[in-house]
Amino acid sequence: MVITSSADALSREAARAADAADPLAHIRGAFDLPEGTIYLDGNSLGALPKGVRARLATLVDQEWGRDLIASWNKAGWMHKPFTLGDRIGRLIGAASGQVVVCDSTSVNLFKVLAAALSLRSGRNVVVSEAGNFPTDVYMVEGVAQLKPGLVLELAGRDGTLDDLLTNDVAAVMLTEVDFRSGARHDMAAVTARIHAAGALAIWDLAHSAGAFPVALDAAGADFAVGCSYKYLNAGPGGPAYLYAAARHHGAALQPLTGWLGHADPFAFDVGFRPAAGIARFLCGTPSMLAFAPLEASLDIWDRIDMSAVRAKSVALAELFIARVDRFAAKHGLVCVTPREPAHRGSQVAFTHAQAFALIRALIAEGVVGDFRAPDILRFGLTPLTLAYEDVWRATAILEDILDSGRWRAHSAERGTEVT
Ligand SMILES: *Cc1c(COP(=O)(O)O)cnc(C)c1O
């Protein structure tokens, strides 16, 4: 009888066996990744789908170059915010007609915050979290400039979320997965508590869409926003998306009243009248050059079973954490990602006093993770492009860099570079 010890489960052979049995392994070939790099930053800028080149070439040579303005109809450009929105909708649990692709996540936050306030005009508080991604909180400050009397309260600084849920609260805006620790909210349970206080729930899905199945409709979410360039592989600055639950389409008003949110844009009326459905959340002309890579990435994502993505994501994280656990205490690494899979997204994060130099050393040796101030090493786990053996090698290299002290050759100072 063969007895498998826990050490065996963490061996390179076990990782190879897991890759051989991985139902998503064949998808990796749909992406271009540089040879020799272990890319653990797909949660910040997703890998390049091979189909992007051909889609861009068609857009440039045929749709723009030959058909010119006819492509707004002939190539369906005018409908892309909705057709691509519905394709993202499948990944985030939104029935059709509730998601549009447009603008950036920051701009879309402004729109949904203002829309939520328009539905709760008697209330003057927006609640978020002190640890939220800064742009989310900054956008509330921007909305407040236009709405004197609006108060921003931050859970984790002003109190706990439940304590802040008073009857003055118009909206609670949370990022489902914390960008530093990877900790995940229970969207359905938190949304229910927000609704019990009479407020509306706005969810930022930047680290959710493409990382695990999201169920916006089932959770009763009111609004959501997110990026396409992280787990969804739509390229640097790829367009964002916005979800508004159908029940709000009639009454919610957003202040970026551009012509494409008008009920009849081509009537060229003098006064603004909001469109009936999700279209009222559009503003100006969609950027077809930025939509093209998203279409190519969705050609891959359309075929993906999100429950398989989640299963692999959990297994990759378990392997990563278990392997680091073997040397973490000796080297002062502390796992800040929840150990319970249900409480995390698809990244693992550790604190270390020399986190910045360590990340520089890893990158120099082909393991691309990132640093988040003040002391976090962050590793994104993207199940479509990562193999179990990649996790095995990345953690072996991390251990070796720590054992050998090679990180000392790297500056501990963060310059002005993007990390
Ligand atoms: C990445 C990220 C953003 C980015 O917003 P942009 O407008 O695309 O720059 C916003 N919110 C969260 C939580 C993010 O992680």
- pLDDT, one tens digit per residue, over 87-130 is 999 999 999 999 999 999 999 999 999 999 999 999 999 999 99
Residues 45 and 40: their CA atoms lie apart, in Å, by 10
Average pLDDT of span 290-297: 98
Q: Is residue 241 flagged as an active site residue?
A: no
User: Could you tell me how far CA 297 lies from the centroid of its own chain?
Assistant: 15
pLDDT, residue 1, reads 46
Confirm if 324 and 395 have CB atoms less than 8 A apart. yes
Structure tokens at 171: 């909206």
pLDDT, residue 159, reads 82
Ligand 1 atom 6: the closest Cα is on which residue? 105
pLDDT, residue 418, reads 63
SS3 call for 202 = strand
Per-residue pLDDT of 220-237, as tens digits, reads 999 999 999 999 999 999
Whether 328 shows a pLDDT value over 60: the answer reads yes
How many contiguous H segments (helices) and E segments (strands) does the chain have?
14, 15
**Residue 290 Cβ contacting ligand 1 at under 6 Å:** no
Distance (angstroms) between ligand 1 centre and the Cα of 226 equals: 7
Residues 413 and 263: their CA atoms lie apart, in Å, by 53
Per-residue pLDDT of 179-196, as tens digits, reads 999 999 999 999 999 999
Q: Is residue 50 flagged as an active site residue?
A: no
What percent of the chain shows pLDDT beyond 90? 95
Ligand 1 atom 4: the closest Cα is on which residue? 105
**Residue 351 Cβ contacting ligand 1 at under 6 Å:** no
Of 86, 204, 370, 390, catalytic: 204
pLDDT, residue 157, reads 87
Q: Angle CA(283)–CA(240)–CA(386) in degrees, nearest 5?
A: 170
**Residue 206 Cβ contacting ligand 1 at under 6 Å:** yes
**Hunting for tokens 């930047």 — which residue is that?**
206
Residue 28: pLDDT band (50, 70, 90) is very high
What rounded mean pLDDT belongs to the chain?
A: 96
Whether 419 shows a pLDDT value over 60: the answer reads no
